């Protein structure tokens, strides 16, 4: 288990920066995309759309930007995330990755290497249209159990669901169940490790560590709890490596091969941690996103740290009554390339949008080409993956 965690993690820095170390109505708008599909009727009308993005990696420079965007009083990350809001708001289910833990209400707040993020990030993410976030990462224990508690308390206070860390054994045992269109979706979340910070023996429930057998057990428990679709968020891989590493590939094969009564145990895998966009691939008939890259981050020494993707999948229910083995399936698989601009201010850019494609910015054009190359590098196009603005 420890060897698996060490190899999955690769470098454990999580992005030292160059300086060192609904729709417009907000979250209440969720569901209108699903209702529009229902109005059209049929199998697709009972399905749902899922939108997921990569690491929210809040370096010092982003904390300063959020302070400035709030007018010097409090912290506002909404302007940074504005480019994701139309897509997250239209989706029936939007999932983020909360890489860092939160500091106390009044600070101090810190970036790399031991992150303590302003808790106002939770509200900004919720107002951008997100429903839930994975919280299992190599930074989950940056401020011990206190950081976990503050983070989950802040997310609860704004109605942002979470999976991957917990405040008690009871919370760890309860699967995170989300309603999306006509489906119940279970979100699971795991990390390769915690940067050498030991998980207390009497609080092993603080963070979910990657263990293939445990993941399958959790997925099956979620099915018994009524999940139609099980999504596993995996914080894994080798930092700054575009190609999925051997353990990512082998673990993806093992998890996607798991079956109960002829039905797959896991319906989608969403990867984070590598800080660069990685491939999308169908493995054993199940979509695996090896790495979505960073969604927001400070300026990195490697420009790929500013590149990310949004994974977009439309699930539809089984046709007719086919018994316990009947499974929801992906009808449409898409991705959207994004870039975090760091000058003159930190702001997210949708590279596939009309504005993004016509900006005449060489850095954006290079990012667009680089992301597409990574995403399609393992043959996803032949399985139907398409880019969407």
pLDDT of 148 over the 90 cut? yes
Residue 336: strand, helix, or coil: strand
Is beta strand 229-235 parallel, antiparallel or unpaired with respect to 183-191? parallel
Query: Quick one: average pLDDT of 184-212?
Result: 98
Give mean pLDDT, residues 242-255. Answer: 98
Q: What pLDDT, on a 0 to 100 scale, did the predictor assign at position 29?
A: 37
pLDDT exceeds cutoff 80 at 175: yes
Q: Residue written as tokens 């990350």?
A: 77
DSSP tag of 246: H
Q: Give the mean pLDDT of 140-155.
A: 98
Please tell me the predicted confidence (pLDDT) of residue 324: 56
The rounded distance, in Å, linking the Cα atoms of 228 and 219 is: 11
Among the ranges 27-31, 299-303, 309-313, which has the highest mean pLDDT value?
Answer: 309-313
Query: How far lies 379's CA from each of 130, 165, 204, 209, 256, in Å?
Result: 29, 34, 39, 30, 17
Mean pLDDT within 185-189? 98
Q: 2 pLDDT exceeds 50? A: no
Numbers of helices and strands, H then E, in the chain: 13, 17
Q: State residue 321's pLDDT score.
A: 57
pLDDT in tens, 194-204: 999 999 999 99
Summarize the confidence of residues 206-234 as an average pLDDT. Answer: 98
281 beta partners: 288
pLDDT tens sequence across 57-75: 999 999 999 999 999 899 9
Domains detected in the chain? 47-387 (3.60.21.10)
Q: Across the chain, what does the average pLDDT equal?
A: 90
pLDDT band at 326 (very low <50, low <70, confident <90, very high): confident
> How high is the pLDDT of residue 322?
55
Q: Residue 257's pLDDT is what? A: 98
Cα within 13 Å of Cα(322), Cβ side:
11
Q: What is the pLDDT of residue 230?
A: 98
- pLDDT surpasses 90 at 30: no
Average pLDDT over every residue of 152-174 = 98
Q: What's the predicted TM-score (pTM) here?
A: 0.91
Q: Answer yes or no: is pLDDT of 278 > 70.
A: yes
Q: What is the pLDDT of residue 3?
A: 43
**What is the reported pLDDT for 235?**
98
Q: How many Å apart are CA 221 and CA 210, to the nearest integer?
A: 17
Q: Comparing 230 with 2, which gets the higher pLDDT?
A: 230
> What three-state secondary structure class fits 162?
strand
> What pLDDT was estimated at residue 319?
86
Q: What is the pLDDT of residue 22?
A: 30
pLDDT of residue 261: 93
323: pLDDT strictly greater than 70: no
Q: Which residues, including other chains, have CB under 8 Å from residue 122's CB and lie 6 or more apart?
A: 102, 151, 154, 155, 157, 158, 160
Q: What tens digit of pLDDT does each residue of 82-124 get?
A: 999 999 999 999 999 999 999 999 999 999 999 999 999 999 9
Q: Look at residue 38 and tell me whether its pLDDT is greater than 50.
A: no
pLDDT for 356 beyond 60: yes
For the residues 366-386, what does the mean pLDDT come to? 98
């Amino acid at each position: 288990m420890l060897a698996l965690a060490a190899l999955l993690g690769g470098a454990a820095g999580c992005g030292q920066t160059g300086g060192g170390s609904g729709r417009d109505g907000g979250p209440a708008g969720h569901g209108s995309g699903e209702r529009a599909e229902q109005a059209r009727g049929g199998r697709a009308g009972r399905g749902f759309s899922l939108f997921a993005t990569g690491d929210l990696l809040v370096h010092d420079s982003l904390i300063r930007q959020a302070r400035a965007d709030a007018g010097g009083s409090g912290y506002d990350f909404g302007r940074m995330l504005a480019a994701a809001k139309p897509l997250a708001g239209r989706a029936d289910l939007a999932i983020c990755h909360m890489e860092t833990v939160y500091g106390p209400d009044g600070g101090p707040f810190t970036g790399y290497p031991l992150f303590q993020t302003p808790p106002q990030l939770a509200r900004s993410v919720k107002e951008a249209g997100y429903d839930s976030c994975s919280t299992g990462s190599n930074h989950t224990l940056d401020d011990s159990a206190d950081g976990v508690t503050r983070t989950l308390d802040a997310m609860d206070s704004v109605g942002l669901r979470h999976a991957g860390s917990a405040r008690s054994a009871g919370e760890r045992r309860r699967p995170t169940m989300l309603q999306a269109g006509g489906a119940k979706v279970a979100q699971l979340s795991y990390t390769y490790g915690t940067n050498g910070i030991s998980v207390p023996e009497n609080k092993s429930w603080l963070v979910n560590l990657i263990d293939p057998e445990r993941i399958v057990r959790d997925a099956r428990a979620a099915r018994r709890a009524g999940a139609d679709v099980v999504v596993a968020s995996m914080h894994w891989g080798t930092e700054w490596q575009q190609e999925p590493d051997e353990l990512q590939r082998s673990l993806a094969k093992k998890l996607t091969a798991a079956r109960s009564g002829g039905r797959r145990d896991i319906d989608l895998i969403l990867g984070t941690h590598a800080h660069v966009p990685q491939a999308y691939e169908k493995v054993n008939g199940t979509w695996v996103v090896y790495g979505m890259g960073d969604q927001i981050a400070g300026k990195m020494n490697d420009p790929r740290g500013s590149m990310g993707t949004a994974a977009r999948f439309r699930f539809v229910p089984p046709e007719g009554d086919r018994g316990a083995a009947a499974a929801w399936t992906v009808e449409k698989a898409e991705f959207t390339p994004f870039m975090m601009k760091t000058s003159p201010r930190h702001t997210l850019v949708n590279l596939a949008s009309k504005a993004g494609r016509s900006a005449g910015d060489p850095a954006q054009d290079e990012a667009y080409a680089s992301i597409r190359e990574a995403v399609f590098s393992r043959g996803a196009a032949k399985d139907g993956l398409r880019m969407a603005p």
